[in-house]
Amino acid sequence: MQKIFSPRSIVVIGVSERPDNLARFIIANLRAFGYQGELYAVGRQPGRVYDVPIVTSLDEVPDGLDLAVILTPAETVPALVDVCGRKGIKQIVIESGGFSEFSERGRQLEEEVKKIARRWGIRFVGPNCISVINLDAGLCLPFAPIDPQSARRGIASVISQSGGISITYLDKLSAAGVGVSKVISIGNKADLDETDYLEYLLDDPQTKIVCLYLESISDGQRLLERTRLSQKPIIVHKANRGQASQSIAFSHTAALASDDRIVTGAFRQGGILRAESFNEAVAMAQGLTLPPVRGDTAVIISRSGGHAVVAADAAEHYGFRLAELPRDLTEKVRALFRADVIRLTNPIDLGTIFDFDLYAHIVEECLQTLAPDAVVLINTYSVLEAKRARRLAHRVEEIMNDSGTPIALCVFAQGDEAHELQRELSIPVFMEIESAMCALAASRRWYQWQTRRHTLPIVAPPLTRPRSSFLAKQVLSADQALQLCQEYEIPVAPWKVVETPEEAIRAAEQLGYPVALKILSAEITHKTDVGGVALNLSGADAVRRAAQSLLTRFPAKLMVQRMVTDGVELIVGGKRDPAFGPVVMVGLGGIFTEIFDDVAFRVVPLTPEDADDMLSELRGRSLLERVRGRDAVDRAALVQAILTISRIMMENEQIAELEINPLIVLSSGAFAVDARVLLTTDASASTASPP
């Protein structure tokens, strides 16, 4: 990877003297950015571009060069990779398109390239990418012209699945004052993927923040392993957010799961900051250049009352609490006003103060008196006031560096003034109030994640007792699924299986009224939808009538189960995601699970903190607390049930979907009432003994 980002010698393949030749721009960019290594060019015709001779064969360049950059038609790439291998070139960037992203023939060519690369021990970037930039080494390999003046060296590095977006982030992070160290456009990631580059950047001393733009995730488990151990903040702008399933599946868990829900849960679990847009990602990066936001208290200081109101709304949206101003502070500030026409509150409206030097003084007074976790200073000014406003900005930079308290400077000025100011400062200048608040919230979230970094997944040891023999079947009936839950020590509402109304009555009397009757059928998984459930049966006559009705309509056995009442119904389930592997879901349960659509996901294995975080994410989380005289539910029992589902999914690879719905949680304890288990086809066909 070092030779990809800091090569001492490069050969560019596909160069010509034609003005419309794209590969010649690679040479031009290297010259413009001051690359100092050996540089060679190969093309069909001899010539010269930017003082670099063009030779017509790779055999005319030295063996063992650090890096080859290929920009030729896709059909020619496999043979060129083969020649590179013969020449001892072990690192290649394939910028050419026309591979798996384009056609079936392109997919075949991509597989051929991979096969040749493996034979020679070559690692390659792409194909179908705009390439690599390392501002610290003067490396700039895109086939589009890049202006060195617009690329500001800094602490962020970018990994992008899109070439165009990689350049967009180079521009935006540079303009925002964060600056860029390295940019990598990964294209089809046929060889090296996002986690390979991430591992390199996490060890790179010039990179302090990593920003990723992803449309797909190659190996979610591996990605999480790296991010949970990262000492550097990671921002991911994840696009391509389509739902994996909109229809009723075997389980509600699968029906409610989508790529995006799972990605969101996984990112929270891994300490990744997820951005919804370019501007949000850049704002987060800006916030991470500030001193850490350690808590929720904030002070807003604004020259404009209207801007102050907007800022107060944004602060509430991002979970900041506006500190109350003590009397001694308001008296000090009021003494600075020319007219006593503004009521001093937080936000502080400085509309009648025209001396910008006093703004800095007020910031210092707020820091000394209130010790807030963050300050937002909003300055609106005209071109005529620019000189004094810039002096204030530099003073704010000094105050923040001296105090260690984050100050988000938000500027509304005419023309290009804000951008010019940003070029002068080493701290970020925000041009939107919402961006400033987003930045502070990102800093706070990263600080909170760091404080709990010591909590890592603990994999439970395998059970020594035998597993259920039912795991040899493709679909488990409800009683079989509940038996599996019992084997993992999840409490289950007592039940019996019967075949006649008389047996149902005897079972009900043994279990104790009230009871429920349910049909048992592996083919009918959503029993309520077909009328296969009878609830709250309180006597023999009611049980007999319900049993006769169910057995008449459904030729199946019945489950008689003691009712569990007065609890909160939740759903706890697990499924296997193509990118992240086994995942666990929790949400509001019962027959309205998909109507509530209130669920949270995490990737297996889970920690107790992960499980508790899932519950805190639910919109209906207040139902778990003490409300209107009803005791709070047994949160510890609920967390344990979530962790047990994680363990079941981890220890039984043949389980494709598992769901307890409902899991009824009481003030003391939690009980599984119904369950579903779907096994993989391979597992159902296996005759081997269960693990």
pLDDT tens-digit profile of 602-615?
999 998 999 999 99
The domain spanning residue 551 has which CATH number? 3.30.1490.20
Q: Looking at the domain assignment, is residue 221 inside a domain?
A: no
Question: Are residue 79 and residue 119 in the same domain, yes or no?
Answer: yes
Q: Looking at the domain assignment, is residue 61 inside a domain?
A: yes
Q: Looking at the domain assignment, is residue 471 inside a domain?
A: no
Residues 565-584: b if buried by 16+ CB within 10 A, e if exposed = eebbbbbbbbbbbebbbbbb
Q: Looking at the domain assignment, is residue 244 inside a domain?
A: no
Q: What does the pLDDT read at residue 245?
A: 38
**Alpha-carbon distances of 367 from 84, 293, 354, rounded to whole Å:** 61, 14, 21
**pLDDT class of 131 with cuts at 50, 70, 90:** confident
Question: Are residue 576 and residue 558 in the same domain, yes or no?
Answer: no
Question: Are residue 54 and residue 35 in the same domain, yes or no?
Answer: yes
Q: Looking at the domain assignment, is residue 451 inside a domain?
A: no
**pLDDT class of 31 with cuts at 50, 70, 90:** very high
- What number of residues does the chain have? 691
The residue ranking higher by pLDDT, 629 or 486, is: 486
Q: Domain end: 508, 530, 562, which one?
A: 562
> 440: closest CA among 407, 393, 471?
407
Q: What does the pLDDT read at residue 71?
A: 97
Is residue 151 over pLDDT 80? yes
Cα 617 to Cα 601: distance, rounded to the nearest angstrom: 10
**pLDDT class of 578 with cuts at 50, 70, 90:** confident
Q: What does the pLDDT read at residue 531?
A: 85
Contacts for 455-464 with beta carbons within 8 Å, 24 or more apart? 455/607, 455/609, 456/228, 456/607, 457/228, 457/605, 457/606, 457/607, 457/610, 458/605, 458/607, 459/605, 459/650, 460/605, 460/647, 460/650, 460/651, 462/651, 463/488, 463/651
Asked whether 139 and 26 are in contact (CB, 8 A), the reply is: no
Question: Are residue 504 and residue 616 in the same domain, yes or no?
Answer: no
Q: What does the pLDDT read at residue 691?
A: 34
Asked whether 253 and 571 are in contact (CB, 8 A), the reply is: yes
The pair phi, psi for residue 609, each rounded to 5°, is -65, -40
Q: What does the pLDDT read at residue 377?
A: 97
Asked whether 660 and 573 are in contact (CB, 8 A), the reply is: yes
Provide the domain count of the chain: 4
DSSP annotation of 351: T
The pTM of the full predicted model, rounded to 2 decimals, is 0.87
Q: Looking at the domain assignment, is residue 528 inside a domain?
A: yes
CB atoms within 10 A of CB 681: 10
pLDDT (average), residues 304-324: 94
Structure tokens at 672: 């599984």
Is residue 339 over pLDDT 70? no
Asked whether 670 and 637 are in contact (CB, 8 A), the reply is: yes
Question: Are residue 210 and residue 310 in the same domain, yes or no?
Answer: no
Question: Are residue 46 and residue 103 in the same domain, yes or no?
Answer: yes
**pLDDT class of 253 with cuts at 50, 70, 90:** very low
Task: Report the largest interatomic distance among the alpha carbons of the chain, rounded to a whole angstrom.
Answer: 98
67 Cβ contact list (under 8 Å, min separation 6)? 3, 4, 7, 9, 10, 11, 89, 91, 92, 93
**pLDDT class of 337 with cuts at 50, 70, 90:** low
3-state secondary structure of 658: strand
Q: What does the pLDDT read at residue 325?
A: 86
**pLDDT class of 336 with cuts at 50, 70, 90:** low
Question: Are residue 26 and residue 125 in the same domain, yes or no?
Answer: yes
Average pLDDT value for the chain: 89
The domain spanning residue 50 has which CATH number? 3.40.50.720
Question: Are residue 552 and residue 637 in the same domain, yes or no?
Answer: no
Q: Looking at the domain assignment, is residue 411 inside a domain?
A: yes
Question: Are residue 10 and residue 55 in the same domain, yes or no?
Answer: yes
Question: Are residue 325 and residue 384 in the same domain, yes or no?
Answer: yes
**pLDDT class of 329 with cuts at 50, 70, 90:** confident
Q: What does the pLDDT read at residue 468?
A: 58
Structure tokens at 342: 């503004």
Q: Domain end: 176, 199, 215, which one?
A: 215
- What is the DSSP annotation of 14-56? S--S-TT-SHHHHHHHHHHTT--SEEEEE-SS-EEETTEEEES
pLDDT (average), residues 452-471: 54
pLDDT, one tens digit per residue, over 164-194 is 999 999 999 999 999 999 999 999 999 999 9
pLDDT, one tens digit per residue, over 199-228 is 999 999 999 999 999 988 888 889 998 998
Question: Are residue 55 and residue 203 in the same domain, yes or no?
Answer: yes
Is residue 251 over pLDDT 50? no
Question: Are residue 159 and residue 80 in the same domain, yes or no?
Answer: yes
Is residue 688 over pLDDT 80? no
The domain spanning residue 336 has which CATH number? 3.40.50.261
Is residue 352 over pLDDT 90? no
Of the listed ranges 176-180, 453-457, 471-475, 673-677, the one predicted with least confidence:
453-457
Q: What does the pLDDT read at residue 250?
A: 43
Cα 178 to Cα 174: distance, rounded to the nearest angstrom: 6
Cα-Cα-Cα-Cα torsion 469, 472, 478, 480, nearest 10 degrees, comes to 0
Cα 222 to Cα 457: distance, rounded to the nearest angstrom: 14
Is residue 229 over pLDDT 80? yes
Q: Looking at the domain assignment, is residue 261 inside a domain?
A: no
Cα-Cα-Cα-Cα torsion 213, 217, 221, 223, nearest 10 degrees, comes to -30
3-state secondary structure of 523: coil
pLDDT (average), residues 566-586: 92
Q: Domain end: 396, 426, 456, which one?
A: 426
Q: Look up the domain containing 534 and give its range.
A: 494-562
